[in-house]
Chain A
């Protein structure tokens, strides 16, 4: 009797919690479809009196949101591809190849995870200014692609779990190391590669501090900077602001729903921040 009661109470608390998690998102969507002015109604209305899609059109007309989205996609996708390439090469070396100084270098890679971005961002800014990459997407893409400690660590750990038999067999058949990585190890590592790709995409898409430091003209802005800029322009036009927010979160939420099966599981396995 008492156990049943606790069971139902748990469900009720969890449902209340889930509503708290979703409410801000529902309110965001609801506000974005209201006619400007009606969002101030009291008592609050969850269902807009009439569905007003004009807000979305106006968001597009006031700032080049299409371009912001395109910039974000370009930067995020290039970072994902570059990062998978460099991190899988390094991860494979750390997991499977013996070379002098391997352990020290691997520890060095891990140690960098503790360094705050605040420490490196000022010299990075100065460096990018010296080589003329300020207001250039390369300032975000190149560092993000070449070195990412967590991705290297994650892929190293995963590659270690792949038995050496496959590789030995391939080597006897005359495959090169790079061939083994490309044709055997990577296909066997689909869950790990997917997880790192999805997370990297989300991190780049959601990044704000990087773009705000390195980019300074509208045609180069990412979606996050665009939304923040829009906040400065529209101030209290909440219907349009919420429409812009909706636009900015939709790609990541779609990606999350599509891959959550993979990714909640890997996060559980590795305790990785999303």
Chain B
């Protein structure tokens, strides 16, 4: 009995926070998404599924930002994970200065997206930016990057990869260090080539790490906001407007809070279903030695 009370007392502050700032708002958000919530007068009656219906069947911007987010995520995440894996494999062979490399590759991860966005905007500057200056020295006319309809999203994805690959590398290094060297020795005695070692030993044993990175990176990437807010604000022609950026704009610039809440719930459902699918598929390819 005393232990019970003590337990509850210890978790009380966190639980109060959990209920007021997470669970309460989740329920409220669902409620708001089914209602007509005016910024000035508050609740003004229920509208049922109308916001959801409008989003899915009427609102062209919704599908545009959804497509943009899919593009950002499904190009950026696989590339940054692959780069992280390659870097980890290179670094995992007793390279001198390993710690220094780790620290350097990790710096972009701890830096704020505001500063990163600003410096990359400067690097991407079409006329005077470092990237196009270097290209010009090589005799190449660089594109307009962030202002170019077709290059804007790839430019943002490059920044994403640049920022995320060091983190992915660190996580892969941890995975690699858990693989026992006996497995490699046994495979080598059987005459396995380097490629076969990677294909049949390293890669399968890294699948739990890969799975972790894929799931968490997709969830994170679907919620990208700051980089887009600082670098493009959705321009050009809303080509780089991603889901949460658009949601923020609907909620806090257009003040359509109930519409934005419905958007938030669709995002939540999408992420949830996607994660469940991945968990199910994982049984086919993730190998828990």
Contact = CB atoms under 8 A, between A and B. Distances in A.
A40 B102 CA distance: 33
Contact of A274 (B109, B119, B120): B109
A18 B113 CA distance: 19
Given A109-B18, A242-B122, A268-B173, A24 B268 contact: no
Q: Considering residues B11, B108, B267, which has the most beta carbons from chain A within 10 angstroms of its beta carbon?
A: B11
A172 interface: no
Contacts of B247: 118
Given A100-B4, A273-B220, A124 B104 contact: no
Interface stretch (A50-58, A161-169, A187-195, A256-264): A256-264
Interface in A103-141: 105, 108-109, 112, 114-127
Interface string B118-133: 1110110101101001
B257 interface: yes
Interface stretch (B70-78, B86-94, B181-189): B86-94
Contact of B107 (A25, A90, A209): A25
Contact of A93 (B7, B223, B226): B7
Q: Considering residues A18, A109, A112, which has the most beta carbons from chain B within 10 angstroms of its beta carbon?
A: A18
Interface string A203-224: 0011011001100000000001
B276 to A, nearest CB: 11
Q: Considering residues B15, B118, B125, B216, which has the most beta carbons from chain A within 10 angstroms of its beta carbon?
A: B118
Contact of B14 (A7, A89, A248): A89
Q: Considering residues B26, B90, B257, which has the most beta carbons from chain A within 10 angstroms of its beta carbon?
A: B90
Interface in A46-95: 85-87, 89-90, 92-94
A113 to B, nearest CB: 9
A146 B8 contact: no
B115 A245 contact: yes
Contact of B225 (A146, A209, A245): A209
A71 B191 CA distance: 62
A105 B17 CA distance: 13
A124 B25 contact: yes
A227 B93 contact: no
B137 interface: yes
Contact of A10 (B8, B95, B216, B267): B95
Given A108-B18, A127-B25, A271-B171, A27 B122 contact: yes
Contacts of B29: 119-120, 122-123
Contacts of B264: 116, 118-119, 121-122
A116 B177 CA distance: 32
A224 B115 CA distance: 8
A26 B275 CA distance: 39
Interface stretch (B45-53, B55-63, B162-170, B196-204): B162-170
Nearest to A252: B110
A90 B106 contact: no
B contact face: mostly helix, strand, loop, or mixed: helix
Interface in A231-274: 231, 238, 241-242, 245, 248-249, 252-253, 256-257, 260, 264, 267-269, 271, 273-274
Nearest to B209: A271
Nearest to B215: A114
Counting chain A residues whose Cβ lies within 8 A of the other chain, the interface size class is 35 or more
A31 B122 contact: yes
Interface string B209-239: 1001000100110110110011000000000
Contacts of B222: 116
B54 to A, nearest CB: 17
B3 interface: yes
A119 B103 contact: no
Given A86-B17, A271-B174, A248 B114 contact: yes
B102 A264 contact: yes
A256 B106 CA distance: 10
B90 A122 contact: no
B25 A209 contact: no
B90 A118 contact: no
B22 interface: yes
Q: Considering residues B106, B177, B275, which has the most beta carbons from chain A within 10 angstroms of its beta carbon?
A: B106
B105 A17 contact: yes
Interface string A173-204: 00001000000000000000000000000100
Sort A-B residue pairs by CB-CB distance and give the 6 closest, nearest first.
A146-B17, A147-B17, A99-B7, A93-B10, A123-B25, A123-B28
Interface of A: 7, 10-11, 13-14, 17-18, 20-25, 27-28, 31, 39-40, 42-44, 85-87, 89-90, 92-94, 97-100, 102, 105, 108-109, 112, 114-127, 142-143, 145-147, 152, 177, 202, 205-206, 208-209, 212-213, 224, 227-228, 231, 238, 241-242, 245, 248-249, 252-253, 256-257, 260, 264, 267-269, 271, 273-274
Given A271-B171, A271-B216, 20 more contacts: A14-B95, A18-B104, A21-B105, A21-B162, A24-B120, A24-B162, A43-B137, A89-B13, A90-B11, A105-B15, A116-B222, A118-B268, A122-B264, A147-B16, A147-B22, A212-B229, A227-B114, A248-B114, A252-B111, A274-B109
